[in-house]
């Protein structure tokens, strides 16, 4: 008797999948990366290439990934290797390009979960008033550095507190993933996303009601803070870097080009609407980023630090914005304990809804392609991911996280998005793809997007790649901007990434060999029964 294949997990409701995809997209980048990029790249002018990128890259890729995921799920494939193979069965190598869709999320997870744990730690520190007396940037930076284990001072003498919060965060992630799509991820996002947005609105209202703290400096006010962020410097539009930064932010904020949406959408049924669901998830993300994310840090920093320091603050990087500038701002406010907790717990909720999505492709790959139980798949993933997280924790100051972020969270996003766009529009075929998008749809995608998806989006992606190769390739490959002392660690990280990619490729090969063998055995049994 043939063993019955176990049934795949599924979402409990349309709201659940929309909130899960929105939760995946809404992360630390919405509240830290976006305001920094906008303020340091022409202010309001940055929004022009940003929204153009959203219309020509973000929405098309969102619909492509929702559609491809649902299509692949019909063949019981939840990750890119299987989905790509379903699209182009005649090409026996295409599944190996799909390895990027597992590799990217895994690489991001192994450093993102550690950074996410900082937000949980600072939530507790806020309630305990641990950084309450710090009033200057240098001391708050020292507080952060000691917590990260980069130095020792009166605040922290070792990395043990940071490691404790990492363990708590890691266990929470694995627990959510263990309980599956409906019982774990969907349940988390239905709780976390509304709470996150509620905290964001409270913080936005508090920022909007800030008065000028120094009567001698009336220009240091919220209105001018918003003006600094939104008044356009149109000369910035002449810079290719600004356009690349805007496109990169769209990739980062919508979680497209990673492989997560493919996996989430694979648990849909054929009758589920991907047009409206994708648009709703995108809109929720844009609200959290453009309305909430842009309205908290930069305007508040302008009020307390003024127009002279705001430029350097905007360019100081996301870590400094979130963990240095923002705690200092909170220390100036009444009820700083409460507002500090709201800020950091908001970031933690945004982080955890994203990190569980990053884990799901690897778990789904083990479940679908090796036909093992979720419990076993999550156990394997948890052990491997925990080991891989250690370099990001203990070698943070050696450039390891920056290297992981570049390859896993930047470069391969664009590569993967380009591959899936070409497959969808040119291999699968635009006419068939257009029909697939609209199966079960209550809303029609504007007809112009048929042209955009087939021609404009791939050209835009090739342009981004071309500009990157022209401007950045050689310095990055030859470590031109890496300090001499960090180069051995960065090289070791690159070797480790190559090994991870090759191991995943070998696993894909083994999985397909098993499938062919099982198919052959089934065929032979069928012949004997017929005889």
For the chain, the average pLDDT equals 90
How many domains is the chain built from?
Answer: 1
Asked, for residue 442, whether it belongs to a domain, the answer is yes
Residue for token digits 């995921």? 69
Nearest to 80 by CA among 64, 60, 95, 66: 95
Backbone φ and ψ for 40, nearest 5 degrees, come out as -95, 0
Does some domain include residue 5? no
Contact between 256 and 63 (Cβ < 8 Å)? no
- Is residue 300 a part of any domain in this protein? yes
Domain span at residue 458 reads 14-530
The answer as to whether 461 is a domain residue is yes
- pLDDT for 529 equals 43
Helices 14-25, 274-286: inter-axial angle, 10-degree rounding: 40
The pLDDT score that the predictor gives to residue 507 is 97
pLDDT at res. 308: 78
With 70 as the cut, is the pLDDT of residue 392 above it? Answer: yes
Burial status of residue 41 (CB atoms within 10 A of its CB: 0-12, 13-18, 19 or more): buried
On whether residue 123 sits in a domain, the answer given is yes
* Average pLDDT rounded to a whole number, residues 176-183: 95
Mean pLDDT for 156-171 is: 97
Residue 71: which pLDDT band, with cuts at 50, 70 and 90?
Answer: very high
Average pLDDT score over residue span 189-207: 95
Q: Cα(329)–Cα(300) distance, rounded to whole angstroms? A: 7
- Is residue 364 assigned to a domain? yes
**pLDDT tops 60 at residue 139:** yes
Mean pLDDT of 327-356: 94
pLDDT at 445 over 90: yes
- Calculate mean pLDDT across residues 11-19: 89
Where residue 382 falls among pLDDT bands split at 50, 70, 90? Answer: very high
**Is 235 part of a structural domain of the chain?**
yes
Query: Looking at the predicted structure, is the pLDDT value of residue 68 above 80?
Result: yes
State the pLDDT confidence band at 309, using cuts at 50, 70 and 90.
confident
Instruction: Provide Rg for the chain, Cα atoms.
Output: 23
Mean pLDDT of all residues in 127-141: 92
Q: What is the arithmetic mean of pLDDT over 154-158? A: 92
Question: Can you read off the two tokens belonging to residue 316?
Answer: 């100081």
| CATH number of the domain residue 418 falls in | 1.20.1740
7 is a domain residue: no
> Is the pLDDT confidence value at 54 over 80?
yes
Q: Is the pLDDT of residue 3 over 60?
A: no
Helix (H) / strand (E) element for 86: namely: helix 80-87
Residue 409 in this model has a pLDDT that exceeds 90: no
Give the pLDDT mean for 34-45. Answer: 84
For residue 43, the cross-strand partners are: 232
Across residues 380-400, what is the average pLDDT?
Answer: 96
Q: Average of pLDDT values for 64-82?
A: 94
Q: How confident is the model at residue 521 (pLDDT cuts 50, 70, 90)?
A: low
10 Å CB burial of residue 433 (0-12, 13-18, 19+) is buried
Q: Is the dihedral of CA 282, 286, 292, 297 positive or negative?
A: positive
- Distance, in Å, from the CA atom of 411 to the CA atom of 104, rounded to the nearest integer, reads 9
Backbone angles phi, psi at 232, to 5 degrees: -80, 135
């Amino acid at each position: 008797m043939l063993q019955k294949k176990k049934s795949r997990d599924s979402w409990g409701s349309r709201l659940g999948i929309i909130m899960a995809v929105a939760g995946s997209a809404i992360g630390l980048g919405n509240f830290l990366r976006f305001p920094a990029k906008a303020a340091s790249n022409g202010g309001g002018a940055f929004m022009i290439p940003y929204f153009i990128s959203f219309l020509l890259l973000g929405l098309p890729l969102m619909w492509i990934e929702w559609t491809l995921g649902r299509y692949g799920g019909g063949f019981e494939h939840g990750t890119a290797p299987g989905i790509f193979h379903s699209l182009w069965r005649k090409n026996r190598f295409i599944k190996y390009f799909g390895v990027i869709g597992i590799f990217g999320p895994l690489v991001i997870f192994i450093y993102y979960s550690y950074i996410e744990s900082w937000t949980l730690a600072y939530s507790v520190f806020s309630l305990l008033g641990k950084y309450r007396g710090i009033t200057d940037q240098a001391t708050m930076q020292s507080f952060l550095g000691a917590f990260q284990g980069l130095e020792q001072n009166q605040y922290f003498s070792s990395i043990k507190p940071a490691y404790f919060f990492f363990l708590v965060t890691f266990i929470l992630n694995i627990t959510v993933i263990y309980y599956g799509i409906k019982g774990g991820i969907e349940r988390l996002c239905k709780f976390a996303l509304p709470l996150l947005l509620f905290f964001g609105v409270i913080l936005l209202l508090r920022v909007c009601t800030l008065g000028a703290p120094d009567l001698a400096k009336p220009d240091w006010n919220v209105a001018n803070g918003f003006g600094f962020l939104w008044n356009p410097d149109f000369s910035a539009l002449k810079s290719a870097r600004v356009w690349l930064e805007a496109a990169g932010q769209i990739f980062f904020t919508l979680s497209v080009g990673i492989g997560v949406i493919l996996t989430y959408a694979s648990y849909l049924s054929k009758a589920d609407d991907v047009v409206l669901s994708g648009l709703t998830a995108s809109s929720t993300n844009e609200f959290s980023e453009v309305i909430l994310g842009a309205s908290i840090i930069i305007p508040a920093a302008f009020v307390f630090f003024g127009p002279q320091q705001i430029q350097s603050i905007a360019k100081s990087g996301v870590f400094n914005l979130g963990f240095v500038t923002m705690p200092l701002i909170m220390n100036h406010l009444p009820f700083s304990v409460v507002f500090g907790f709201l800020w950091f717990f908001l970031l933690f909720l945004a982080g955890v809804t994203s990190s569980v999505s990053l884990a799901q492709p690897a778990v789904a790959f083990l479940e679908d392609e090796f036909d093992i139980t979720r419990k076993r798949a999550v156990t394997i993933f948890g052990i491997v991911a925990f080991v891989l997280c250690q370099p990001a924790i203990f070698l943070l100051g050696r450039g390891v996280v920056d290297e992981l972020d570049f390859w896993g969270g930047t470069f391969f996003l664009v590569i993967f998005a380009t591959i899936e766009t070409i497959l969808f529009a040119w291999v699968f075929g635009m006419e068939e793809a257009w029909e697939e998008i609209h199966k079960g749809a209550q809303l029609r995608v504007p007809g112009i997007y048929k042209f955009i998806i087939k021609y404009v989006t791939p050209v835009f992606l090739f342009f981004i790649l071309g500009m990157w190769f022209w401007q950045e390739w050689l310095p990055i490959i030859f470590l031109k901007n890496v300090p001499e002392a960090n180069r051995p660690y960065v090289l070791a990280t690159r070797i480790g990434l190559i090994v991870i990619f090759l191991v995943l490729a070998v696993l894909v090969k083994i999985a397909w060999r098993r499938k062919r063998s099982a198919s052959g055995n089934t065929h032979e049994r069928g012949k004997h029964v017929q005889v």
